[in-house]
Amino acid sequence: MTDLLIPTSGWYVLGNARLHGSLTPGLDGPFDRDGFALVDIAIADGKVTGIAARGERPAPPRSIDLAGRIVLPCFVDCHTHVDKGHIWPRMPNPDGSFAGALGAVGADRLVHWNAADVARRMDFSLRTAYAHGTKALRTHLDSVAPQETISWPVFEEMRDEWRGRIDLQAASLIGIEGVREAAWFETLARRVAAAKAVLGAVTYMLPDLEPLLDRVFRTAIEFGLDLDFHADETGDLAAVSLRRIAEAALRHRFGGKILVGHCCALSRQPDGEVLETLDKVAAAGIAVVSLPMCNLFLQDRRHDGTTPRWRGVTLLHEMKARGIPVAVASDNTRDPFYAYGDLDMLEVYRMATRILHFDHPVGDWPKTVAATPAEIMGVDAGRLAVGSPADLVIFKGRSWTELLSRPESDRIVVRDGRAIERSIPDYCELDELMGSAWTSKP
């Protein structure tokens, strides 16, 4: 959008901007049928100093006429895996399945994941997310021994480097069976606590799932940690680990935050059972993040020449109706769990709208990529209000149908009141990490 020049100093007004009611507390209408109001946004010293109904505006260059373009707060991506991003060229998923992904990542990790490899791919991912307008991001870190000794120091350095641009959080990621090694798990929890991070695991329906969850909760309480689980990322009707997590949270009267990702099996289970599970999830104060793109890729993967019949996503509508905080997020990017993706939360929202029907009505679904994940992560982001940092994205679209139909590659990302230089890194930067299996030469 070369026609818009955002001042680099002083105060200015973004005039005639469309803000969404769900992301702008206290915004007075009138709202259009998409839930947007036309306003002038005053910005000074990197902060939003006023949001007012369209009115008298100063003359250019202090006033920039957005002609009704949509302005959203910067995005919050609460479930990613930037430690494994972009390994697809050297380690594709052999059959597109969850088991194929686990095996491929395990093999790649053993051979390639030294500190330099992890750091370069992580930095590539963060530059991409930043350019797309993301302000806060939680990544899981594969923490199966000895990887935790490599990836956690890299993460802590990366978090320092990115402070002020992306608020970076991490959650440990191990299969729940790893919790059986009590002494090792306690050491991991100490590392997580020292890094001011979040304790996590992937739950499976193991015979000892309940005692393992008890150990996770006891450890989180002992170290004062929040929790983040991957649960029921399968079409297996018998997968009810989300319910087991909720029961454990209630049993332990857990006071920290809990985020659970995926919960795919829920949408295949009988209604009565599902509603009982959701009541427990609501009572336990658990938040849920759906990862629609990764779910489409892995779930209902068939090898018999037939077409997938199931979208794989969880029951976000039913959850929201019960007051369960719900978000959507990027998940994996160009790795065996998901071959595609670019950490672009506009793409995630566009896909979620189509797959999960975030329309008719749109209501407050936009919160799923901004305000709600910000609350889940406990960061000051995801809303535009007077006094908040002027961290926002200006799009060309003036309505949801315009915004969600095009990639909006020329969006303007404003941080602390100034337009950032958006440069999406080139894949060829990573070619040398991809080994002999990959060459950019024809």
Ligand X SMILES: O=c1cc[nH]c(=O)[nH]1
Binding site for ligand X (CB under 6 A): 81, 84, 202, 230, 233, 294, 331-332, 337
* Smallest separation, CB 403 to ligand X (Å): 27
* Smallest separation, CB 293 to ligand X (Å): 11
- Residue 387 neighbours by CB distance under 10 Å: 7
Pick between residue 22 and residue 234 the one whose CB is nearest to ligand X. Answer: 234
Pick between residue 320 and residue 334 the one whose CB is nearest to ligand X. Answer: 334
CA–CA gap between residue 93 and residue 102 (Å, rounded): 9
DSSP assigned state of 143: -
- Single out the catalytic residue among 233, 347, 375, 408: 233
* Smallest separation, CB 306 to ligand X (Å): 23
Pick between residue 277 and residue 295 the one whose CB is nearest to ligand X. Answer: 295
CA–CA gap between residue 131 and residue 128 (Å, rounded): 5
Nearest to 390 by CA among 22, 160, 34, 50: 50
Cβ proximity of 139 and 170 under 8 Å:
yes
* Smallest separation, CB 295 to ligand X (Å): 9
* Smallest separation, CB 298 to ligand X (Å): 7
CA–CA gap between residue 442 and residue 434 (Å, rounded): 16
CA triple 234-237-243, angle to 5 deg: 85
Residues forming beta bridges with residue 187, ordered by sequence position: none
Residue 375 is a catalytic residue: no
- Residue 147 neighbours by CB distance under 10 Å: 19
Please, what sign has the CA dihedral across residues 51, 25, 254, 141? negative
Q: What's at 129, amino acid-wise? A: A
CA–CA gap between residue 25 and residue 375 (Å, rounded): 14
CA–CA gap between residue 79 and residue 332 (Å, rounded): 9
Pick between residue 231 and residue 384 the one whose CB is nearest to ligand X. Answer: 231
Q: Which residues have a catalytic role annotated?
A: 233
